[in-house]
């Protein structure tokens, strides 16, 4: 299929499952909002950083990082809570069907350079996880859940979710958070909001996937499907965010 025909086909599919975006999000500080950064680590975002990193500069991933940095700066300025999930695996524990990636202690499992300063910010909770779903990955040996505790400690009423991949780690986390909310585990959390321009996924076109024996994963379509699934589970999806820029102590 030629490029033009392919783009038309993707548009056709997207039109069959449109993602109706919610109203632009205005963050005023009146609603306690927490920012959740999903796996914005070198192993998934930095060119050439590992088996699951982009092999060439990627517009969708770069834009996701830029948007996340902007949000993180604003949240830190306002001293609002941030929860950063870091994919991080023990070298002897594989995660099928994925090849080895983000081994604990390596650069792959560290925040991308543009976000590394978050490690020293008092309003940031870093959480290493060794599975796709960051909600499950927040469970401690004693059964407590670091994410649930974070929501409760800061009385968070809305979470704003960004990161990678829209249709995998972001989606699984969002789905689990929504189920937990619906079961009453996350009170006072009300809204799970996915920022579409703050999310990205990887690109593995059919032809290359066939050569590698992997599942094909066309970026633009899978990103869209990830948002569609999140919306279907009850998340809000927004593409615009603005802040109350007047000085205010919270
Ligand atoms: Zn992983």
CA of 30 to the centre of ligand 1 (A): 35
Residue of 235, 246, 250, 249 whose CA lies nearest to 26 = 246
CA of 206 to the centre of ligand 1 (A): 22
Contact 195, 238 (CB under 8 A): yes
CA of 131 to the centre of ligand 1 (A): 5
CA of 6 to the centre of ligand 1 (A): 31
CATH code that applies to domain 25-243: 3.40.50.850
200-238, pLDDT tens digit by residue? 999 998 888 888 888 899 999 999 999 999 999 999 999
- Residue 247 pLDDT: 58
CA of 1 to the centre of ligand 1 (A): 33
- Residue 1 pLDDT: 66
174-205, pLDDT tens digit by residue? 999 999 999 999 999 999 999 999 999 999 98
CA of 202 to the centre of ligand 1 (A): 14
CA of 139 to the centre of ligand 1 (A): 16
- Strand positions, DSSP E, the chain: 25-27, 33-38, 82-87, 124-129, 158-164, 191-200, 236-238, 241-243
The Cα 53–Cα 49 span in angstroms is 5
- Residue 248 pLDDT: 52
The Cα 146–Cα 240 span in angstroms is 29
Low-confidence ranges of the chain (pLDDT < 50): 250
39 Ramachandran zone, left/alpha/beta (phi>0; psi -120 to 50):
left
CA of 108 to the centre of ligand 1 (A): 10
SS3 199: strand
CA of 29 to the centre of ligand 1 (A): 33
Enumerate residues with CB within 5 Å of ligand 1 (an ion).
Answer: 87, 95
CA of 39 to the centre of ligand 1 (A): 9
CA of 166 to the centre of ligand 1 (A): 14
Contact 84, 34 (CB under 8 A): no
182-207 in b/e burial notation, b at 16+ Cβ within 10 A?
eeeebeebebbbbbbbbbbbbbbeee
CA of 204 to the centre of ligand 1 (A): 17
- Residue 101 pLDDT: 95
Those residues with Cβ within 8 angstroms of residue 197's Cβ, 6 or more apart along the chain or in another chain:
63, 64, 67, 239
- Residue 249 pLDDT: 52
């Amino acid at each position: 299929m030629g490029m033009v025909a392919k783009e038309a086909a993707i548009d056709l599919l997207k039109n069959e499952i449109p993602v109706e975006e919610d109203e632009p999000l205005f963050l005023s500080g009146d609603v306690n909002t927490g920012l959740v950064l999903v796996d914005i680590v070198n192993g998934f975002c930095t060119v050439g950083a590992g088996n699951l990193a982009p092999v060439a500069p990627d517009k969708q991933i770069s834009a996701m990082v830029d948007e996340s940095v902007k949000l993180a700066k604003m949240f830190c300025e306002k001293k609002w809570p941030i929860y950063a999930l870091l994919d991080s695996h023990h070298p002897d524990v594989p995660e099928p069907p994925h090849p080895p990636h983000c081994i604990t202690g390596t650069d792959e499992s560290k925040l991308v350079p543009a976000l590394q300063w978050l490690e020293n910010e008092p309003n940031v909770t870093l959480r290493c996880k060794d599975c796709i779903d960051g909600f499950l990955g927040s469970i401690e040996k004693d059964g407590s859940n670091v994410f649930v505790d974070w929501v409760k400690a800061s009385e968070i009423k809305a979470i704003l979710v960004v990161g990678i991949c829209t249709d995998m780690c972001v989606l699984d986390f969002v789905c689990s958070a929504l189920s937990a909310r619906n079961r009453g585990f996350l009170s006072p959390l009300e809204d799970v909001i996915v920022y579409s321009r703050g999310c990205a996924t990887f690109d593995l076109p059919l032809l290359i996937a066939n050569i590698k024996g992997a599942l094909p994963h066309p970026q633009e379509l899978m990103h869209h499907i990830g948002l569609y699934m999140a919306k279907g589970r009850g998340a809000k999806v927004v593409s615009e965010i603005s802040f109350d820029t007047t000085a205010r102590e919270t």
